[in-house]
Structure 1
Amino acid sequence: MSRSVLLKLAAVSGLLTILAAPWALAMPPLAWVCKPLTTALLIAWAAGRGLSDPMRRPLLLGLVCSWVGDVALLWPQQGFLPGLVSFLLAHVAYGVALWRGGARPWWPAIALYAVVALAVLQRLWPGIAPALQGPVVAYVLALAAMAALAAARWRRLRSVGAAWGALGGALFMLSDATLAFDRFAAPVPLASLWILASYWAAQACIAAALPPPRSAS
């Protein structure tokens, strides 16, 4: 199966997951099938990229951790903490990949994402249960660090792949901030649409940070 077909199938599967929400088709079994399938297709698409790139292994590990998180969050209550930990590990893996790919600290990006992370935590803090406060803080810090590294890599390399990675980091912040507001602050209209669309766009952009194969199709 060609890589372009894998990416198109991931887009279709992601769209079906979004449409399975109560505000659309209201078909939870469809989401149970298509949500992990979408990330699995993105993993398969990314696996054909950057075969000799030092970023490849940790980036693929991050995608696999994300797939585990997707499965865990099929149970929104019981699976929230395991899902949070899985995505935290994904961001650590992405950070390692970005570092191997040439990212180095860039203080304007660090300051920007630190401000965003603190603003989000301040807004959400009253609604976060005490047992979840530590894991949530650790997660937000890991996410912000990953996004800052992605931006720093783009600033240093100015390549197309680095630009995709930086966009992916920003989209991940947007997706998770929306999810957190919906869960801990107030319901977000059409939440699954905004969360999942930005989430899979983020994952695809991060995977696109790997160079395409010479015979890309």
Structure 2
Amino acid sequence: MIILTGVAIGSGLMDLFAISRGWTKARYVWKPFTMILIIVLAFLGADWSNDWHRWLLAGLVLSLAGDVFLVLPSDRFLAGLSSFFAAHVCYIAAFADQGDNEHAASVAVVLTLLGLLSVAVLRRGVLASGGMGLLVAVMCYITVILIMVWRAFLTGDAFMLAGAALFLISDSVLAWNRFIKPSLTAELTVMATYYSAQLLLAWSLL
């Protein structure tokens, strides 16, 4: 598992290097290949008798589909967004509630406020990019990923919570990069946090 994890990290670093050099075609290989390695890692650690293991694997596979849509030369942002929306639904199903948590309500309030702030900041850029239809899609996506983070918090599992939090950071930076102010630093941050998030979620199966 350690060797496979190292190979996945190496592949992710190659994708980051391709981004930094502007090698778009190289990303057609390194981006999906990194996720395939992470899926193999999760597959090897999965216990197929556990429903939540199957849900998490489904989320990883749907994430791979989203990666393919987003890395293609034509703009398939909505297809990628839909794939990741479905992936987060699977992650929500995978994150089992471990019982009462005295901070559950407080965390829910904080995440709700964060969601409202995100919509307020992104609204103008999203409308300019794709109109009201895209804004509704983005709002739905923000809602599902915040629910995913909240559910990860309720599990009490450090790997799941860290993975979910990094996923939220990745998508927040991606939204800023796409709708507010694009930059190379933001693009590198998106992928570094994304690969880390997915790797941590895969490791939660181990």
With structure 2 as the length reference, what TM-score do the two structures score? 0.90
Match of 2:152 in 1: 150
Instruction: Give the alignment's Cα RMSD to 1 decimal.
Output: 1.7
Change (3 A) 1:181 1:104: farther
- Structure 2 distance, partners of 1:193, 1:25, is 11
Q: Give 5+ residue unaligned stretches, structure 1.
A: 155-161, 213-217
Identity score, percent:
33
Match of 1:208 in 2: 203
Match of 1:185 in 2: 180
Query: SS of the counterpart of 1:73?
Result: helix
Matches within 5 A, 1:125-140: 125-128=123-126, 129=130, 130-140=132-142
Tell me the number of residue pairs that the alignment of Structure 1 and Structure 2 aligns: 199
Contact 1:103–1:150 under 8 Å retained in 2: no
Query: SS of the counterpart of 2:45?
Result: coil
> After the TM superposition, which of the residue ranges 37-46 and 71-80 deviates more from structure 2?
71-80
User: How far off its partner does 1:53 sit?
Assistant: 3.1
Match of 2:68 in 1: 71
Q: 1 or 2, which has the higher helix percentage?
A: 2
- Structure 2 distance, partners of 1:96, 1:69, is 19
User: How far off its partner does 1:139 sit?
Assistant: 0.6
- Residue 38 (structure 2) pairs with residue 38 (structure 1): no
Match of 2:78 in 1: 81
- Structure 2 distance, partners of 1:113, 1:137, is 14
User: How far off its partner does 1:104 sit?
Assistant: 6.9
Contact 1:104–1:153 under 8 Å retained in 2: no
Q: Return the match for 2:111 from 110, 113, 117.
A: 113
User: How far off its partner does 1:50 sit?
Assistant: 3.7
With structure 1 as the length reference, what TM-score do the two structures score? 0.86
- Structure 2 distance, partners of 1:200, 1:113, is 22
Contact 1:104–1:149 under 8 Å retained in 2: no
Change (3 A) 1:76 1:173: farther
- Structure 2 distance, partners of 1:181, 1:10, is 27
Match of 2:189 in 1: 194
- Given residue 146 of structure 1, which amino acid in structure 2 is its aligned partner? M
Contact 2:177–2:187 under 8 Å retained in 1: no
Q: Return the match for 2:53 from 35, 48, 56.
A: 56
The one-character-per-residue Cα deviations of 1:102-138 (angstroms, maximum 9, x if unpaired) are 4778212211211212111110001113220111111
Q: Return the match for 2:122 from 99, 121, 124.
A: 124
Match of 1:174 in 2: 169
Change (3 A) 1:102 1:38: same
User: How far off its partner does 1:77 sit?
Assistant: 5.3
Matches within 5 A, 1:12-27: 12-21=10-19, 24-27=20-23
- Structure 2 distance, partners of 1:189, 1:64, is 27
Contact 1:109–1:152 under 8 Å retained in 2: no
- Structure 2 distance, partners of 1:4, 1:69, is 26
- Structure 1 distance, partners of 2:100, 2:23, is 45
- Residue 158 (structure 2) pairs with residue 163 (structure 1): yes
